[in-house]
Structure 1
Amino acid sequence: MNRSTPARKIKSKFELIIQRPFGDPLGMSFSLAVSIAVFIAIAIRQWLPEWIKIWQIMSAGAVAVLITGNLAPTEAFNAIDWNVIAYLFGVFAISHALFASGISEKVSNKICTPGRSIPLILLPFILFVTAVSAVLTNDAAAAIGTPIAIAIAARLQIKASLPLIALCVTVTVGSMFSPVGNPQNLLIVADGHFDNPVGTFLIWLGPPAIVSLAFTLLWFWYRLKTEKPGEAPEAVTPEDVTVHPAPALISTALLSVLVILDSVAGGASWFPDLPLGLISLIAAIPLFVLSSNRVQILKEVDWHTLIFFVAMFIVTGAVLKSGVLQEWLSPWRHQLGDPLLLSSIAFWGSQLFSNVPLVEIYLNLLEKHDVAVLMLLSGISTLAGNLFIISAASNVIIIQQAEKHGIKPFQFWQFTATVLPVTIVSLIVCYGWVALMRVLLNGGS
């Protein structure tokens, strides 16, 4: 019996919208205008009143498309990927438990051992974050890695912005290694029906990810070495370690084992079909059953980021319902497998529409779904997250986690200017490697 992958749970949400006919021109222009307005508002947030947060800007966009009728309440509910929301809820609960129990502080202290040079601090940090991204997704790595990035800033006596941006880059690139590294990878796995998805991602995207991470190490080593001391944050530590570490460790181990088993199992019948959201909720059970601080853990879940994601799905759903992206892609439908066209659309389309819905629509319009095309789509749409703050949800998670800890993160254009060299190098390496692999394994077809 064929077993559906967790990505089917994500895919079905977008199919409800994609299969609808195009909306009317007025609705189309308004939905797109709201999406652009949200992007601009986040870009200029540094000049807005300090109390305005990213989640509030996205929520305003969601309210706008709802009250104008561009998306009905039932359509908005269907547009929300509750599987992703459930996964993030579990991950946020586990990451807070790791922090409140002092485990995150111990990892930070291990990485930031006094006397270590910048490379010896950056290397274990990048390796740790990459491993978490590949096994537990980029969003989990973003939540878990934020206190560690702040600790690095405190250790080096610099602003928190550079280590936090390094975290953003690492979780994005690190998620390329595995089929569960990010949501768009899951969609591609569901569409590609790979016999060995783990091996496929390691062969096609592992080498460019390694080269990109090596360049990331060198680039941020240079940036941190030339960064002037000043305004260093205090290392983020729990005020009082009241949460016992055992439940947090059990939940982390359970989440890792279930995600790995689900990825390795593929289409096998010996492992139940569990969506990632359910896996995350199952993994969080020890926190609320074994811990005496379950109410505290529940209160400290990053609810603002969850609201941001709900609002983002609503705004994106309105744009998808309008049919604007489908209409733009239709003239090139027969050329969507061309590497240059695919890379251009995947990269720039992800900036405006977000990479997950962009990938889903692209998969539905592709005529030929060969491995090279799917791997290039995965790599480029993932690396698109290293251009703007809004390009990857993990960037937003890191910003809001930092603000939750009372740390002022990076500004919109500061992020873009800092990550641009890594973005350019990683895109070239990814494109070149997939092109080479296509020639070697598929005879150039």
Structure 2
Amino acid sequence: MPVSLIVSILVFFCIAIRQWLPDWLKIWMIMTTGAVFLLVTGNISPSEALSAIDWNVIAYLFGVFAISHALFASGISERVSNWICADQRSIPKILLYFIVFVTLISAVLTNDAAAAIGTPIAIAIAASLRIAAALPLIALCVSVTVGSMFSPVGNPQNLLIVADGHFQNPVGVFLEWLAVPAIISLIFTLVWFWICFARAPKGDAPEHVTPDEQSARSWPALVSTGLLCVLVIVDSIAHESEFLPDLPLGVLSLVAAIPLFLFTDQRVRLVKEVDWHTLIFFVSMFIVTGAVLKSGALQHWLSPWHDQLGEPLMVTSIAFFGSQVFSNVPLVEIYLNLLSGHDTPTLMLLSGISTLAGNLFILSAASNVIIVQQAEKHGVTPFQFWQFTRFVLPVTVVSLVACYVWIAFLVSLSG
């Protein structure tokens, strides 16, 4: 077994048992230790590590983190949470508003943006209902993951599939093939967490997080948020047009963040408040994943089934379980290179299953890690590894079945 794969498994294991490790040991520290070890031992060279890092994702997250902090610092996040929690006696209404809100952000601005923006709101819901923060944060994880299924810009793996599939109307394709299982999954999520919230013991509620020093100006944050929405939507349309340039999401995010830095006198503070620990985590994760991919272990394991990689059960199995070990984005990238045929049903099944794979473990989706890191940044203890899996497992099973059955149904109609 390659050293890089052993390190990847050890990182996963250490994060799984983090609740029994010292409190000061954070997820980003564990991942960074693995990356440094692989660099020092020569399993990946510095130049290969730099090439493995997806700087477009890092740039996108930097802009999103700056915008999400500005929304929080200007009091906008607090106003949204107050609106969601206006009727504290109605858990279904609070959950409905919350799930719809983060789903829309996830579909338009990607799941990572929804994770960063939604974390303080989830904490506010916990404070309002006087329950521990874990449940609302886990509900946020599930909602942003499922919500990202609706659109071609909902998550990075969708973008890879759109680029490979050359769809004439990517928005319409995703709505046709994945909207129904996404809606079924969200409805089940609403019912399931309604039951969980109603049974949750009162107490251990976090304090209502508020900025240390609220910014007097809220309009730059609103302008940046609106600008990011417009740019992402226009970029999505660009996939269908030969006349509009198709720009990387990282560039769009940085451009959208410009008003924050132009129209504020707290530029240095804004840069400091960016979640650098999460950015370090992602840089380290790309290095660890890059070392694993360099070893050829995944490619070697998949090669015996090369002719069967387009079969529905094979796509489902490898997309789901492979995403737990190698992360969904690199797995999708390699899978696309190994597929002999790129028909729409196969690509949509790959997209849906690799996305829903995020609802199993904390490390299964980048948005889960963002939520954990953001909660800790606000001084709130998030969920534990196995606590997360215990609450999301029913949603995972229902959503996987719904996705597989719906795509199989559409295939049977066309056949």
Q: TM-score, normalised by structure 2?
A: 0.99
Which residues of structure 2 form unaligned runs of 5+? none
Residue 316 of structure 1: aligned partner:
289
1:213 Cα offset (Å): 0.1
1:240 Cα offset (Å): 2.2
1:281 aligns with 2:249: no
Deviations along 1:51-74, whole A, 9 cap, x unmatched?
000000000010011001010000
In the alignment, the residues of structure 2 paired with residue 63 and residue 199 of structure 1 have an alpha-carbon distance, to the nearest angstrom, of 43
Residue 4 of structure 1: aligned partner:
none
Give SS of 2:117's match: helix
1:138 aligns with 2:111: yes
Question: Which one of the candidate residues 216, 232, 236 is aligned to 2:209?
Answer: 236
Residue 49 of structure 1: aligned partner:
22
| Alignment length (residue pairs) | 415
Residue 122 of structure 1: aligned partner:
95
1:86 aligns with 2:71: no
Give SS of 1:205's match: helix
Residue 352 of structure 2: aligned partner:
379
Change (3 A) 1:412 1:110: same
Deviations along 1:229-279, whole A, 9 cap, x unmatched?
011111111122125111101100000000001102214233222110000
Contact residue 38 and residue 61 of structure 1 kept, 8 A = yes
Residue 23 of structure 1: aligned partner:
none
1:116 Cα offset (Å): 4.1
Contact residue 332 and residue 350 of structure 2 kept, 8 A = yes
Question: Which one of the candidate residues 337, 360, 363 is aligned to 2:310?
Answer: 337
Residue 7 of structure 1: aligned partner:
none
Contact residue 88 and residue 129 of structure 2 kept, 8 A = no
Contact residue 130 and residue 204 of structure 2 kept, 8 A = yes
> Mean Cα displacement is larger for which, 75-84 or 291-300?
291-300
Residue 329 of structure 2: aligned partner:
356
Question: Which one of the candidate residues 241, 244, 249 is aligned to 1:268?
Answer: 241
Change (3 A) 1:269 1:243: farther
Question: Which one of the candidate residues 128, 133, 136 is aligned to 1:160?
Answer: 133
Backbone CA RMSD of aligned residues: 0.8
Contact residue 29 and residue 281 of structure 2 kept, 8 A = yes
Residue 392 of structure 1: aligned partner:
365
Residue 405 of structure 1: aligned partner:
378
Question: Which one of the candidate residues 269, 275, 279 is aligned to 1:302?
Answer: 275
In the alignment, the residues of structure 2 paired with residue 438 and residue 392 of structure 1 have an alpha-carbon distance, to the nearest angstrom, of 28
Deviations along 1:326-348, whole A, 9 cap, x unmatched?
00000000000111111001000
Which residues of structure 1 form unaligned runs of 5+? 1-27
Deviations along 1:12-50, whole A, 9 cap, x unmatched?
xxxxxxxxxxxxxxxx61010000000000000000000
Contact residue 153 and residue 160 of structure 1 kept, 8 A = yes
Residue 112 of structure 1: aligned partner:
85
1:115 Cα offset (Å): 4.1
> Mean Cα displacement is larger for which, 260-269 or 217-226?
260-269
Residue 12 of structure 2: aligned partner:
39
Deviations along 1:139-185, whole A, 9 cap, x unmatched?
00000000010011011100000000000000000000000000000
Give SS of 2:310's match: coil
Deviations along 1:212-232, whole A, 9 cap, x unmatched?
000000000000001110111
Residue 420 of structure 1: aligned partner:
393
Residue 440 of structure 1: aligned partner:
413
